[in-house]
């Protein structure tokens, strides 16, 4: 499978959002990663439906929407309407995970489940066959620009074993502190999709930085 680079718009220039999206359209980015934070599940607030709709209007690439909100089940149809293609909810934020995953799929989106750094992979045993993607957080969610947590490598290996054992085809996505320093090692242990925010958008030429990451894979 083609390895996926998903730039996180959290670190982009929101005052020039349209040109940022056009830059990504012309780049080798595969998905656009959107971080939705509610100030409750995580200590930060980002953006909601109107901004997602605007991004959808200009983006030629799938929208990979990462919900860092409590009770995500309240808004599944709304995120579909706004333009989400992949919708990822946090294991730690959703009591009825199975029901909510089914609802995401019934709404025509791919369903992802995210794990915080402290949450073991084993909690996914009884849901892994039902999901399209596992998002392994390699920083504590809430902010861009944090340092990568090295324990993530071990978690990816454990997740790989769980996927093989359960014959699941779920993709493994990693999010937080991804850069040229760790992308190859992460790829080697089995990551399919890489989210990168500050490494891409704080560089002089984000489009070239995306190329550089692609070439490392």
The span from the CA of 73 to the CA of 167, in Å, is 27
The span from the CA of 138 to the CA of 62, in Å, is 22
Q: How far apart are CB 152 and ligand DX5 at their closest, in Å?
A: 12
Among 139, 170, 183, 193, binds ligand DX5 (CB under 6 A): 139
DSSP state of 45: B
Which residue, 161 or 180, is less far from ligand DX5 as judged by CB? 180
Is residue 125 within 8 A of residue 162, CB to CB? The reply is: yes
35 is known as an active-site residue: yes
Size of the site for ligand DX5 (CB under 6 A): 21
The closest residue (CB) to Zn ion is: 66
85 is known as an active-site residue: no
Among 72, 83, 112, 177, binds ligand DX5 (CB under 6 A): 177
Among 4, 11, 152, 183, binds ligand DX5 (CB under 6 A): 11
Count of C-beta atoms within a 10 Å radius of residue 181: 10
By CB under 6 A, is residue 46 in contact with ligand DX5?
no
Helices (H) and strands (E) in the chain, counts: 8, 8
Stretch that binds ligand DX5, among 5-13, 85-93, 126-134, 209-217 (CB under 6 A): 5-13
Residue 168 host element (H or E):
none
Strand partners, 175: 137, 195
Active site residues: 35, 175
């Amino acid at each position: 499978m083609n390895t996926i680079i998903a730039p996180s718009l959290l670190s982009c220039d929101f005052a020039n959002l349209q040109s940022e999206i056009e830059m990504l359209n012309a780049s080798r980015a595969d998905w656009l990663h959107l971080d939705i934070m509610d100030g409750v599940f995580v200590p930060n607030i980002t953006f909601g439906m109107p901004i997602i709709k605007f991004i959808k209007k200009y983006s030629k690439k799938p929208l990979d929407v990462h919900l860092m909100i409590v009770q995500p089940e309240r808004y599944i149809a709304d995120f579909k309407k706004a333009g989400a293609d992949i919708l990822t909810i946090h294991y730690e934020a959703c009591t009825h995970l199975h029901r909510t995953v089914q609802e995401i799929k019934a709404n025509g989106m791919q369903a992802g489940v995210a794990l915080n750094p402290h949450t073991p992979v084993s909690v996914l045993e009884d849901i892994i066959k039902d999901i399209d993607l596992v998002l392994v957080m390699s920083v504590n969610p809430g902010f861009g620009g944090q340092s990568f947590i090295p324990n993530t490598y071990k978690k990816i290996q454990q997740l790989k074993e769980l996927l093989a054992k359960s014959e699941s085809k779920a993709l493994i996505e990693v999010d937080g502190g991804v850069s040229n320093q760790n992308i190859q090692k992460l790829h080697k242990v089995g990551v399919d999709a890489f989210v990168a925010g500050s490494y891409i958008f704080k560089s002089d030429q984000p489009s070239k930085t995306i190329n550089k990451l692609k070439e490392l894979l």
